[in-house]
Amino acid sequence: MSVEEIIDGLLEEDQNVGGVAVIANDGTLVYQTENWDLTSEVQNVLDSVNAGSSTVLLGVKYMIVERTPERIIGTNIQGKGHLIFAPFDGGVLATYILPQVGPREALFNVQSYAQKLKGQF
């Protein structure tokens, strides 16, 4: 399965995921959905995976509410959505979760699909 096929599967399975990017540990933006351009935000994502209590992506501030080796969850307190960063061996799956739901609504699917990205690049 290609990276694109894996991401298409995630988007098809979980309509709560509004945008996706796949970033390699070396900072290469491997894939992103057309509606969520993180070209200039790659370093912010990688920094957020490693540390910090908040992050700003595309001008929106997210408070990090949970950090484990499997996931980093951020939420915007003004109701502009959520982030789930799911690290995997080789990179991180960065997802934007729609504001109408909580991040936990999509957490299982995001983490499952992140594991499918292992060994892809």
* pLDDT by position in tens, the chain (length 121): 999 999 999 999 999 999 999 999 999 999 999 999 999 999 999 999 988 889 999 999 999 999 999 999 999 999 999 999 999 999 999 999 999 999 999 999 999 999 999 988 8
Identify the pLDDT of residue 121. 82
Residue 110 within any structural domain of the chain: yes
Full domain range(s) for residue 92 = 3-116
Position 96 scores a pLDDT of 98
Residues 6 or more apart whose Cβ sits within 8 Å of residue 3 = 22, 30, 31, 117, 120, 121
Contact 17, 7 (CB under 8 A): no
**Per-residue pLDDT at 52:** 84
Q: What is the DSSP letter of 80?
A: S
- What pLDDT is attached to residue 73? 97
Q: How far apart are CA 59 and CA 69, in angstroms?
A: 26
Those residues with Cβ within 8 angstroms of residue 105's Cβ, 6 or more apart along the chain or in another chain: 16, 97
**Domain count for the chain:** 1
Q: What CATH number has the domain bearing residue 55?
A: 3.30.450.30
